[in-house]
Amino acid sequence: MELVSTLVALVATVLATTAVCNRVDLSPPLVLIVVGIVGSYLPFVPDVQLNPEVVLLGLLPPLLYAASLQTSLVDFNANRRPILLLSVGLVAFTTAGVAVLAHALITDLGWAGSFAIGAVVAPPDAIAASAIGRRIGLPRRIVTILEGESLLNDATALVALRTALAGGAVWYLMARDFALAAGGGVVVGLAFFFGIGLVRKHVTDPVLDSGLSFMTPFAAYIAAEQIHASGVISVVVAGLFLGHKAPVIQVAQSRIAERMNWRSIAFLLEGGVFLLIGLQARAIIRDVGNDDLGGTRITLICALTLVAVVVLRMVWVFFARYALVRPGPDETGRVPPWTYTFLLGWAGMRGVVTLAAAFVIPKDMEHREVLLLIAFTVTAGTLLLQGLSLPWVARKLDVPSPDAGADALARANLLHQASQAGLAELDRLEEEDPHDVSETIRERIRRRDYAAWERVNASSAETPSEIYARRRRLMIDAERRRVLEIRSTGTVPHEVVTEVLAMLDVEESMLDYSEGERQRVRATVGSMSRDGGCEHLRDLPSIVDANTPGVCEECVAEGGTWVHLRLCLSCGHVGCCDSSPRRHATAHYHASDHPVIRSAEPGETWRWCYVDELTA
C-alpha cells in the first residue's frame, strides 16, 4: 500500500507541476527537479532512494525505446559521424578527464574509483536533450545530434563503468569491452527488429500490437544483457528500425495507438525521473557529512567536477568540428556557424542514468558518499545551469528556430506530391465506374451524409462508400510510398514527414473505423422497430406490394444502374437510394409527397420518413 501510495503521489505531482508549468510557460523538467529537492526536506515526504536496477531495467529501456521510435533513422544516419564522436569519443574523453581530476583531488580514491566517477558523469541525458531542446526550438540538426548522442552514450558510459569497477581502468580494455558490447547490442537489436517486424505483419489488432510494443524494449534489453552485450544499444537499434519501418509493417490504427501510448508513457516516466532526481538531495547530502574529507573540500571537488564536465564537452565539440567533422551544408544549404557548435556544447545536461550509475558503485569503495554527491551535483547543476540558460544562450547567439514558413511550404509540397501519387493511382483504377465513385472521392464532403445511409444496408453488395474506402486505401498506400521515398532522401525535415504520415494514418484509421461501424450496424439492422413518435411511421403499413419488384424502373429506362432499392409504403413505387447516381426514391418523394419508404433489400425491414427525418 505504501509503495502504491508513493507512486500515485509521484504521478500526481508530475501532472500538477506540468500543468502549472504549461500555463505559466516554464520548463517542467527543471521545475520538477526543484520541486523534488524541496520535497526531499519536507517531513511528510518519504525517503525515496533510487534503486539502480529499477532505473537501468525499469526506466531506461522504455525511455530509450520511446525516444528512438520518434527519432528519424534517415537523420540519424546523415549525422552519424558527429553522433558517434559525441556518444563514444566525448564520453571517453570526459571519463578520462574527470578521472584525472578526481584522482588529483581525492588522492586515496585510486584509479578504479576515479574512472568510475568519470564514467558516471560522462553521458548527457537522453530525456533532457529532447525535452528542453525541442521546447525552446533549437535547430533541427542540433536536436537530431543531441538525441542521437543521448541514445547511445549511456552504452559507452555503462561499459566504461563496468570495466572500471572490474579493475580494468585501462583504455584498451574499455575499448575492447565496448566493441564487444556494442557489436552484440547491434546484433540483438537487429534480431528483435526482424522478429517483431515479421510478427507485426500478421497482427492487425492495435491492442495486441500495443502489447507487443510494450514488451519489446524490456525483452531486447534483457536478451542483450544476458550475453553481456549492451542492452542500451539493443533497445535503440530495435526502436530506430521499428520506428522507421512502422509505415510498412503496421496497420494505421496500430501506429496511432503506439504513438499515443508511448507518448503518454514517456511523459509520465520523464516527469517521474526529474522528480526522483530532486528527491535524492536530502539523503545524499546527509550521508556525505560523515566523510573525513571535510565540507569545504567536498564542495570544491563537486564544483570543480561540474566545471570540468562543461569545459571538457566544449573543448571536445570544437575540436571535433574543426579537426574531425568539418560539417557540410545543412538543409538550408549553409554550413552551420560556430554558434551552433557552442550551443551543442552547452546542451550537455545530465540525468537519471548518471545518478543510477553512481548507486552501482560498491558500498565499500572509499569516499562512495562523496562520489554520489558529485554525481548529484553534476546532474542537478547541468540541468539547472545549462537548462535554464539554454534559451538565453540561443537568443544571444542568434541561433534561429526551425522556420515555420519553410515547414509550411515543405508540408504543402509533400502533400501535393502525395496527392498526385494518389490521384495517379485513382486514374489507373478508373476503368469502369458505374457509380461515379471517382467523383465521390473528389466530393467527399457531399458524400458524407450518404455514407450514413449505406451503413444500415445489410446487402453484401459493395456500396459506393465501400468502393470509396477501398480505393482511398489504395491511394493512401501510394501516397505513403511516395512520402517514404522522399523521406529516404533526407531533403524534408523529419517533423514534416512525420506530420504528413500521421495525417495519412488518421485518414486510414477513419476508413477502418467506418468499415467496422458499418459491419456492426449491418449485424443489428434487422432489429430496428421504433417509430420515434412519428405518425407517418406509425400509421402506414410496413408491407406493401412492389410495383416493380427488384428493379428501379427509372434506372432501367434511363440505362443506368443502382446501388440499393427503396419501396414507397404509400404506392409501392420502387426507386434507387440516395447513394445511387439518380436518387429516384427521393425524386419520387418530391414528386408525390409520399412520406415513408422501406428498404427493398433482402433481409432489411427499416423504414425512413422524409417529413420527420426519422428511421424505424
* Nearest one of 557, 561, 616, 608 to 586, comparing CA atoms: 608
Note the pLDDT tens digit of each residue in 18-68: 999 888 878 788 888 889 889 888 888 888 777 777 778 888 889 888 888
- The SS3 call for residue 110 is helix
Note the pLDDT tens digit of each residue in 372-422: 889 889 988 888 888 888 888 888 888 777 665 456 556 555 655 666 677
Residue 530, pLDDT > 70, answer no
Burial class (CB in 10 A: 0-12, 13-18, 19+), 302: buried
**Looking at residue 527, what is its pLDDT?**
42
**Looking at residue 55, what is its pLDDT?**
79
Query: Does the fold of domain 535-615 match that of domain 2-402?
Result: no
Q: Which CATH number fits domain 2-402: 1.20.1530.20, 1.10.10.60, 3.40.710.10, 1.20.140.10?
A: 1.20.1530.20
pTM of this prediction?
A: 0.69
Note the pLDDT tens digit of each residue in 507-526: 887 777 666 655 655 554 44
Out of 489-493, 494-498, 537-541, which region has the weakest mean confidence (pLDDT)? 537-541
Alpha-carbon span 418 to 472, nearest angstrom: 13
Note the pLDDT tens digit of each residue in 280-339: 888 888 878 777 777 788 889 999 999 999 999 999 999 888 877 666 665 555 677 888
Question: CB pairs under 8 A, 24+ apart, for 512-520?
Answer: 512/251, 512/252, 512/253, 513/253, 514/451, 514/455, 514/465, 514/469, 515/466, 515/469, 517/455, 518/454, 518/455, 518/465, 518/466
Residue 57 DSSP code? I
Can you give the residue ranges of every domain in the chain?
2-402, 415-527, 535-615
Residue 547, pLDDT > 70, answer yes
Q: Which CATH number fits domain 535-615: 3.40.50.10470, 3.30.40.10, 3.30.70.240, 3.40.50.620?
A: 3.30.40.10
Residue with cell 558518499: 369
Q: In the chain, count H helices and then E strands.
A: 28, 5
- The SS3 call for residue 533 is coil
